[in-house]
Amino acid sequence: MAAVANQNRVELTLDGDIFNRLVNIIIDNEELKWLGLEPFGQIGSFRHKDVATLLAFCIDHLEYHIVTYTSGDRYVNRYVPDESIYMLATGDKNPYIVFNPWISPRRYLIEEEVFSKLGCEPDQIKRRHKS
């Protein structure tokens, strides 16, 4: 966990697991469809063209709020105009909560694991084709 403060904003940047637990982003497309919304993709995302529908939904259902995936690769726990991806959430509405995967302390461990698996894959393929 880290906090960033400057003249323009104060943000609490959290680890991805803690962010997800606090904010509770809805990633189940079936649940979103049951609510009468039409997400795109696999994880309950909405495009900029869906913003009016999301805003109206949140006004009618106060337990929901919008989370924005910003162009800076951050998840911001509030509606930010003119971005391209939005999600719906039911948890903490604190607008200063942010998840930035680029400063997550676990990011390097995950990357190392992924890259090591990718590096082993060509060797495994070569072994299967040896006669």
pTM above 0.75, yes or no: no
* DSSP 3-state of 36: coil
User: Is residue 67 in some structural domain?
Assistant: yes
User: Is residue 89 in some structural domain?
Assistant: yes
User: Is residue 75 in some structural domain?
Assistant: yes
Q: Which carries the bigger pLDDT value, residue 103 or residue 45?
A: 45
User: Is residue 108 in some structural domain?
Assistant: no
User: Is residue 113 in some structural domain?
Assistant: no
- Domain count for the chain, please give it: 1
Domain that holds residue 12: 2-103
Q: What is the pLDDT of residues 39-90, one digit of tens each?
A: 988 888 999 999 999 999 999 999 999 999 987 778 999 999 999 999 999 9
User: Is residue 68 in some structural domain?
Assistant: yes
- Kindly tell me if the per-residue pLDDT of 28 is higher than 60: yes
